[in-house]
Amino acid sequence: MKLFFVIILLAAFSFSLIIGIDILMGLDNNGVIKKALNPFRVMEPAEYIILIFFIFFFLINVLRDYLNKNKGNNPTSN
């Protein structure tokens, strides 16, 4: 429960920091909220490539762990 509270607290702090910095930079309030709620609208193409790269590595690690777990559970029949 503490971990959940800490995660929510950090997310709320990050969200408020993003909104605060955008308001201090002079952006309009509508644009600030849209940018904070949908960060993919303001990403550059290189950032999309890096995001896809990280997702790809995450999926490879999950698949590798799954295969290693199943490989260890199957008894050999001789």
Rounded CA-CA distance 52/44 in Å is 13
Domain count, the chain: 2
Residues 49 and 69 in one domain: yes
Q: Which residues span the domain enclosing 63? A: 43-78
Consecutive H or E run containing 3: helix 2-24
Regions of the chain where pLDDT drops below 70: 74-78
Residues 35 and 65 in one domain: no
Q: Report long-range pairs for 56-59 (Cβ below 8 Å, ≥24 apart).
A: none
Per-residue pLDDT, 66: 92
Residues 55 and 34 in one domain: no
Per-residue pLDDT, 27: 85
- The DSSP string of 55-72 is HHHHHHHHHHHHHHHHHH
